[in-house]
């Protein structure tokens, strides 16, 4: 199924610490929010969500607010942006999106391969062969870090 046949949303996410606002688009905004939070050290909150009028809605908003653009899709918090969000965001969509995003889903367990045997290991827990990643790392020292970075 193509993106064009699905409902497309424009979301506005604000970072708590920096205050920066990301204007993005997604077919599945709750999943996108999860992904953004997983890759961002700052706590993010969804401050606006609306149905896109067409594929270029996000690009038009980026252009409209270009004088506040910091980099990429991130913008300085400006009154004009907040006014736009207030006028166009659908609060029911925001609530529905947030209801689908559970806290534990924002911070899923990290799955890694055990560097000793290659089996899955979760958050440095024992893998199927009882190889403890931390113990293995200490035992193999620099080779461990070379495998991580290589």
Structural domains of the chain, count:
2
Is 58 or 38 the better-scoring residue by pLDDT? 58
Query: If we measure between CA atoms, which residue out of 55, 122, 45, 133 comes closest to residue 89?
Result: 45
Which residue range(s) make up the domain with 120?
Answer: 111-149
> Residues 37, 78: one domain?
yes
> Residues 79, 121: one domain?
no
Phi-psi bin for 124: left (phi > 0), alpha (psi -120 to 50), beta? Answer: left
> Residues 21, 92: one domain?
yes
> Residues 48, 89: one domain?
yes
CA 78 to CA 81: how far, in whole Å? 5
The string of pLDDT tens digits covering residues 65-97 is: 999 999 999 999 999 999 999 999 988 888 877
Place of tokens 């610490």: 17
> Residues 55, 101: one domain?
yes
> Residues 56, 115: one domain?
no
User: What pLDDT, on the 0 to 100 scale, is given for residue 95?
Assistant: 80
The predicted model scores a pTM of 0.63
Is 67 or 39 the better-scoring residue by pLDDT? 67
CA 46 to CA 135: how far, in whole Å? 40
> Residues 70, 36: one domain?
yes
> Residues 102, 129: one domain?
no
Grade residue 140 by pLDDT with cuts at 50, 70 and 90.
Answer: very low
> Residues 37, 91: one domain?
yes
The string of pLDDT tens digits covering residues 103-116 is: 444 444 445 555 55
User: What pLDDT, on the 0 to 100 scale, is given for residue 6?
Assistant: 55
Q: Which residues in 16-73 belong to E strands, given as ranges?
A: 21-26, 44-51, 69-71
User: What pLDDT, on the 0 to 100 scale, is given for residue 43?
Assistant: 86
CA 76 to CA 15: how far, in whole Å? 11
> Residues 48, 101: one domain?
yes
> Residues 81, 25: one domain?
yes
> Residues 92, 64: one domain?
yes
């Amino acid at each position: 199924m193509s993106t064009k046949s699905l409902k497309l949303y424009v979301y506005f996410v604000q970072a708590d610490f920096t205050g920066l606002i990301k204007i993005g688009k997604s077919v599945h905004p709750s999943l996108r929010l999860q992904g953004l939070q997983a890759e961002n050290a700052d706590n993010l909150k969804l401050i606006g969500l609306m149905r896109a009028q067409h594929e270029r809605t996000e690009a038009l908003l980026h252009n409209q607010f270009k004088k506040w653009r910091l980099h990429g899709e991130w913008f300085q918090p400006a009154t004009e942006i907040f006014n736009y969000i207030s006028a166009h965001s659908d609060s029911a969509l925001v609530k529905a999106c947030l209801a689908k995003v559970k806290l534990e889903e924002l911070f899923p367990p990290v799955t890694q391969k055990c560097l000793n045997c290659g089996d899955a290991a979760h958050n440095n827990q024992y893998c199927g062969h009882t190889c403890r990643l931390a113990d293995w790392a200490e035992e193999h020292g620099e080779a461990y870090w070379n495998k991580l970075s290589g």
